[in-house]
Structure formats: C-alpha cells, structure tokens
Copies of this chain bind each other. A is one copy, B any other.
Amino acid sequence: MRKLLQKAGLRLTLPRRLVMKTLEEMRAPMTAQEIYHHISQVDLASVYRTLHLFCRLGLVYKESHGEETRFYVAYSPHHHITCRECGQTECVPCNHILKTIKGFSDIEHQFILTGLCQKCHH
C-alpha cells in the first residue's frame, strides 16, 4: 500500500492507515459513517476522501446495499447478501459469472442480494 501510494506521489497518512486498518479488521462492507465512528479521530470529510482514493486505486470496493453505500476490501472476488431486516451481511463467492457481454468492454459488475435471514423470517 505504501508503495502504491508513493508511486503516484501520494502520502501514507494516519487517516489513510486507519481507514484501511478498520476495513481490514472488520472484513465487512461498511458505510463511510460507520468507519468514521469506528475511528473517531479522523474527520468525516477525510474518511470520504480516503475512500474515494482507495476506490480509485482499486484497494477498496464500493456498492449499494439498499439505501446506503458501503465500502469493503476484497480479499477474493465475491458478492454480498444482506438481510433487509437486520442488516446482517454475508459473502457469496463469485465464480466468474461474466466473461464478456457483446458490445461492451471493461465490464464491472455488482451482484447485490437481499433477503430475510432465519432470525428475521417470521
């Protein structure tokens, strides 16, 4: 990570280290605000700036879970399924569903699943 930043003339700062540390520790998709509350020592604006940077560098991925935008570090290609009731999220491994779709290149995809987990299914 330090290398990657420095190659682009960027600096490895405390906020950047803390945001990455948080995402790696939690190993779950988090909103910018959640990350901010977890750190409580870095300004919210900086959390947003850091997340944008990380996404641009491909260090972090961003997706929408219902209403909110969540960010996460991808250890391996996978998708998430979220309980619409309690928000609990699990990973669903992805087996290279897509190779090419005619007429488009450089494809990115988000496969977002929501449902009710056993606890919430009444």
- B81–A101 contact, CB under 8 A? yes
Of B90, B105, B113, which is within 8 A of A109 by CB?
A: B113
| Contact segment of A11-19, A25-33, A41-49, A114-122 | A114-122
Q: Which A residues, 47 to 102, have Cβ-Cβ distances below 8 Å to chain B?
A: 64, 81, 83-84, 90, 92, 98, 101
Report the copy number of this chain in the oligomer.
2
A115 and B110 within 8 A (CB): no
Number of interface residues of A (CB under 8 A): 25
**Given that A101-B81, A101-B92 are known contacts, is A106 also in contact with B112, CB under 8 Å in the complex?**
no
Q: In the bound complex, do residue B101 and residue A107 qualify as a contact, i.e. CB atoms below 8 Å apart?
A: no
Known contacts A109-B112, A110-B110, A111-B109, A117 near B92 by CB under 8 Å: no
Task: Indicate if the CB atoms of A115 and B111 lie closer than 8 Å.
Answer: no
Interfacial residues, chain A to chain B (CB-CB below 8 A): 64, 81, 83-84, 90, 92, 98, 101, 103-118, 121
